[in-house]
Amino acid sequence: MSAKQETKSLILDIAESAVLAKGFEATSIEEIAAAAEISRSGFFYHFKDKNELARAMIERYIENEDKLYNDLFDRARQLHDDPLHAMLIGLKLLAELLDDMPNGHPGCVIASTTYQDRLFDAGVRELNRQAILGWRKRFRGMFEEIAEAHPLRVEVNMDALGDMVSSVVEGGLVLERALGEPRTVSSQIMHLRTYIRLLFLG
Amino acid sequence: MSAKQETKSLILDIAESAVLAKGFEATSIEEIAAAAEISRSGFFYHFKDKNELARAMIERYIENEDKLYNDLFDRARQLHDDPLHAMLIGLKLLAELLDDMPNGHPGCVIASTTYQDRLFDAGVRELNRQAILGWRKRFRGMFEEIAEAHPLRVEVNMDALGDMVSSVVEGGLVLERALGEPRTVSSQIMHLRTYIRLLFLG
DNA sequence: TGTACATCAGTGAACGCGCGTTCACTGATGTAC
DNA sequence: TGTACATCAGTGAACGCGCGTTCACTGATGTAC
């Protein structure tokens, strides 16, 4: 990575953690620049305005999460041939990964920006929407594959079942932050895991 | 309600919907005052500063939610004697209530302020924490009562099960806002309902 | 290898604007006698 | 019932500050010949 891209990436790191702590509007370019050890005008060499920072930050967050899910469920699939057990292993790995974060998970950029969406243009809102829809599609596909091997014991809404993974993570993160209890998200994921097991195995 | 309290309540209504749309920092006293048809200094007759507005807004939100849960699960209990079926009815009523909101649920004040918690003092953060702990206690108690009549078929973390109601609502609201699909939260609640049924009845 | 020029990754000062908050004041309503 | 005073629910002007953004400029590094 070039020096330029390292600075840009540093700016995005700083911005992300500040936005998760205070929200986008309350995060000033001054404080980001200071933390990155450049001047305020140096910031504008990397981003033409604050909205472009938001877009870059969200795009990067979505890419990182996608990669995390890819790696994690690929690995789970290598550990077990059956799609249901691979899913159960994947959820356990996800719970462990979230537990291993020293100060708890810092929060989700999508949740934060969604709760401030009138600050952003339609492009940013569409980015968030597509991210959630992408995860719905990913997990819905996995659940459909599971249902072929293990017929569902009750009728359920498959889109909503696909959404459930994102929903449990988002809900768990809100509670984890509000409570200050580090293992909150992972406990919620373990309940989701129990639900999946009961749904397909009884 | 006195004219004074009506104005105060109007200010809180306006502030709540603005905060849910843009976040607290981006919501100016000027815009709140304008919408309430008073002057900026008129606002300060009702609240000594912006932080006091936040506290009042959050306190009122928690009281309203508590009352909603009280009414809803009291009514469910009147409809069925068995605590499990009362819970299942309560969750169905909750899902219907959320579906009946014309433009989708506007979002949760606790989630919004929790994702901006560095803006507020420790008192406000403690308020949010106690709200979540209160709901944990409420639902954990209900699940324990259910477990006496219907022994659990798998071992689960009861605190996390109590948290699940809040978590599903919070997660569903994030998705509902991000997607712009009105029935998202209620679908998640229906999955929670199926889980509860499977957990206690199989 | 030396030199001229271009590009890169910024700096520093200045801008106009909107923000939260204060303060002296005010007209309408309520209360005491 | 009339009047004096107090309280209520605000107003309007002013304040200092920090914000996002612009712009002319700069020293270090890269490239062409």
- Asked whether the beta carbons of A107 and A18 are under 8 A apart, the reply is no
Which residues of A are less than 8 Å from B177 in CB distance? 114-115, 117
Q: Which nucleotide is nearest to B4 (CA to C1')?
A: D9
Which residues of B are less than 8 Å from A133 in CB distance? 179
pLDDT exceeds 90 at position A126: yes
Mean pLDDT of A109-126: 97
- Asked whether the beta carbons of A117 and B21 are under 8 A apart, the reply is yes
Q: Which nucleotide is nearest to B40 (CA to C1')?
A: D11
Distance, CA of B155 to CA of B87 (rounded, Å) = 19
Distance, CA of B16 to CA of B117 (rounded, Å) = 16
Distance, CA of A110 to CA of A126 (rounded, Å) = 11
pLDDT (0 to 100) of residue B103? 84
Which residues of A are less than 8 Å from B109 in CB distance? none
pLDDT, one tens digit per residue, over B155-172 is: 999 999 999 999 999 999
Residue B79 to chain A, least CA–CA distance (Å):
24
Same domain, A168 and A73: yes
- Asked whether the beta carbons of A19 and A31 are under 8 A apart, the reply is no
pLDDT exceeds 90 at position A102: no
Distance, CA of A136 to CA of A130 (rounded, Å) = 10
Mutate to test the interface with B, among A113, A191, A196, A200 (most CBs of B within 10 A): A191
Binary contact (B168, A172; C-beta < 8 A): no
Q: How confident is the model at residue B65 (pLDDT cuts 50, 70, 90)?
A: very high
DSSP conformation letters of B113-154: HHTTGGGS-HHHHHHHHHHHHHHHHHHHHHHHHHHHHS--SS
Q: How confident is the model at residue A153 (pLDDT cuts 50, 70, 90)?
A: confident
Of A33, A48, A63, the position where a domain reaches its end is A48
Mean pLDDT of A160-166: 98
- Please report, rounded to whole angstroms, the spatial distance between the CA atom of protein residue A4 and the C1' atom of nucleotide C12: 21
Same domain, A26 and A109: no
3-state secondary structure of A103: coil
Q: Which nucleotide is nearest to A44 (CA to C1')?
A: D21
Greatest extent of chain B over all pairs of C-alpha atoms, in Å: 61
No. of H helices and E strands in chain B? 9, 0
pLDDT (0 to 100) of residue A103? 84
Same domain, B65 and B99: yes
Distance, CA of A102 to CA of B136 (rounded, Å) = 24
- Asked whether the beta carbons of A105 and A189 are under 8 A apart, the reply is no
Q: For residue B38, give Cα distances in angstroms to A69, B1, B10, B22, B42.
A: 51, 19, 11, 21, 6
Same domain, B182 and B115: yes
Q: Is the CB of B1 under 7 A from strand D?
A: no
Query: Which one of A172, A178, A195 has the shortest CB-CB distance to B129?
Result: A178
Mean pLDDT of chain A: 97
Same domain, B77 and B19: no
Residue A54 to chain B, least CA–CA distance (Å):
14
Binary contact (A22, B133; C-beta < 8 A): no
Q: How confident is the model at residue A129 (pLDDT cuts 50, 70, 90)?
A: very high
Distance, CA of B195 to CA of B160 (rounded, Å) = 14
Same domain, B66 and B99: yes
- Asked whether the beta carbons of B150 and B198 are under 8 A apart, the reply is no
For A175, nearest residue in chain B (alpha carbons): B167
Can you say whether the dihedral through the CA atoms of B26, B115, B63, A165 is positive or negative? positive
Residue A42 to chain B, least CA–CA distance (Å):
25
Rg value, chain A, Cα: 19
Binary contact (A174, B178; C-beta < 8 A): no
Mean pLDDT of chain B: 97
Same domain, A56 and A15: no
Same domain, B138 and B189: yes
For A170, nearest residue in chain B (alpha carbons): B171
- Please report, rounded to whole angstroms, the spatial distance between the CA atom of protein residue A34 and the C1' atom of nucleotide C13: 17
- Please report, rounded to whole angstroms, the spatial distance between the CA atom of protein residue B35 and the C1' atom of nucleotide D9: 17
Same domain, A83 and A152: yes
Q: What are the two backbone dihedrals, phi and then psi, of residue B76, each rounded to the nearest 5 degrees?
A: -60, -40
pLDDT, one tens digit per residue, over A37-56 is: 999 999 999 999 999 999 99
Q: Is the CB of A40 under 7 A from strand D?
A: yes
pLDDT (0 to 100) of residue B136? 98
CATH assignment at residue B9 = 1.10.10.60
- Asked whether the beta carbons of A61 and A15 are under 8 A apart, the reply is no
What pTM value is reported for the model?
0.97
CATH assignment at residue B83 = 1.10.357.10
Query: Which one of A20, A163, A190 has the shortest CB-CB distance to B184?
Result: A163
pLDDT (0 to 100) of residue A47? 98
Same domain, A44 and A57: no
> Which residues lie below 8 Å from residue B15, measured CB to CB, with a gap of 6+?
B27, B32, B53, B57
Q: Which domain holds residue A150?
A: 50-201
Distance, CA of A21 to CA of A171 (rounded, Å) = 17
Q: How confident is the model at residue B102 (pLDDT cuts 50, 70, 90)?
A: confident
Of A9, A26, A48, the position where a domain reaches its end is A48
In degrees, rounded to 5, the angle at the alpha carbon of residue B92 between the alpha carbons of residues B66 and B182 is 85
Distance, CA of A28 to CA of B115 (rounded, Å) = 16
- Asked whether the beta carbons of B98 and B186 are under 8 A apart, the reply is yes
Distance, CA of A179 to CA of B126 (rounded, Å) = 9
Q: What is the DSSP letter of A150?
A: S
Of B10, B27, B48, the position where a domain reaches its end is B48
Which residues of B are less than 8 Å from A154 in CB distance? 194, 198
Same domain, A129 and A114: yes
pLDDT (0 to 100) of residue B1? 81
| Domain count within chain B | 2
Same domain, B100 and B34: no
Q: Is the CB of A55 under 7 A from strand D?
A: no
3-state secondary structure of A64: helix
Residue B198 to chain A, least CA–CA distance (Å):
7
